[in-house]
């Protein structure tokens, strides 16, 4: 089976890039299932029901979140209506769930949303929790396990790779919006530290650059905004899993505005 994973979708520019390109890429690469991170989809902070429906109509099958999952309060009513999850290590009595199960080509697949510790909201320990979650899935003979690791620190993502590389199908980093050049297949696990944003590429992590620059120069903050017009980028990972849940091929796809796609193969260790 072939899975596509799209990192942080940032605002309208990110949504428009998916509208223009996603279905064509799905056809060209014979993609069976598409996952995307929604946490910045609605003007950079959270997701609205309108934008959720919009993104699903472009060909996304389910979506993961992160530290901005709850920025739009209407999401509390969306978890039961749409294929959305939030980090699994939020307290258990919070709305939503952190694990999504589906069947693709006759195989049961689990998608887990996990959030790191550094600079993030107070959540349960991601490392002790994920070990237990993966163990429970394996006991149910679920071999196809995909993790969105939403974290600031690359060391946390690297540590997760080393802990779980023999037990899960893919670990895909999100949150920093800056794509990393370390896509690899190691011991049958597809890994990248950060997929990178889909949205504006000529500001600061998808936002207009005026407020971030002011903050760096003066230590004074402001409201982050997304430009009405910008140069855009789509970034996604496409990986193939065998019947045992092992990754056998992976590639990074980038599209700048309406230019031809750039495809980079994973390094296989």
Please tell me the distance from the alpha carbon of residue 153 to that of residue 170, in angstroms, as a whole number. 18
Tell me if residue 177 is catalytic: no
The whole-angstrom separation of Cα 210 and Cα 138 is 48
Distance between CA atoms of residues 122 and 39, nearest Å: 17
Rounded Cα gap, residues 207 and 225, in angstroms? 6
Pick the closest to residue 236 from 85, 13, 72, 31 (CA basis). 31
Distances (CA, A) of 236 to 8, 153, 157, 183, 193: 10, 20, 18, 11, 13
Q: Which two tokens mark 7? A: 């990192």
Cα separation values, 260 from 15, 177, 206, Å = 18, 22, 21
Active-site entry in 21, 29, 68, 177: 68
Spatial contact of 235 and 254, defined as CB atoms under 8 Å apart: yes
Contact of 39 with 67, CB cutoff 8 Å: yes
**Both tokens of residue 259?**
């230019």
Query: Which residues have a catalytic role annotated?
Result: 68
């Amino acid at each position: 089976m072939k899975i596509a994973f799209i990192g942080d979708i940032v605002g309208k520019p990110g949504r428009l890039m998916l509208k223009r390109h996603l279905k064509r890429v799905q056809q060209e690469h014979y993609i069976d299932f598409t996952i995307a991170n929604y946490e910045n989809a609605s003007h950079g902070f959270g997701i609205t029901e309108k934008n959720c429906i919009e993104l699903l109509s472009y060909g996304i099958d389910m979506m993961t979140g992160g530290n901005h999952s709850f920025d739009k309060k209407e999401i509390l009513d969306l978890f039961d209506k749409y294929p959305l999850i939030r980090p699994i290590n939020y307290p258990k009595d919070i709305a939503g769930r952190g694990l999504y199960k589906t069947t693709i080509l006759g195989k049961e697949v689990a998608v887990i949303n996990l959030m790191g510790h550094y600079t993030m909201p107070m959540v349960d320990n991601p490392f002790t929790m994920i070990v237990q979650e993966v163990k429970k899935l394996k006991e149910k003979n679920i071999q196809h396990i995909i993790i969105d690791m939403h974290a600031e620190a690359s060391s946390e993502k690297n540590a997760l790779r080393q802990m779980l590389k023999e037990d899960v199908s893919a670990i895909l980093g999100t949150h920093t919006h800056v794509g990393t050049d370390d896509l690899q297949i190691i011991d049958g696990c597809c890994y990248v530290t950060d997929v990178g944003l889909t949205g504006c590429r000529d500001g600061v992590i998808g936002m207009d650059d005026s407020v971030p620059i002011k903050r760096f120069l003066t230590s004074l903050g402001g409201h982050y905004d997304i430009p009405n017009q910008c140069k855009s980028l789509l970034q996604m990972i496409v990986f193939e899993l065998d019947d045992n849940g092992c990754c056998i091929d992976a590639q990074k796809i980038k599209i700048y505005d309406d230019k031809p796609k750039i495809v980079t193969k994973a390094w296989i260790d």
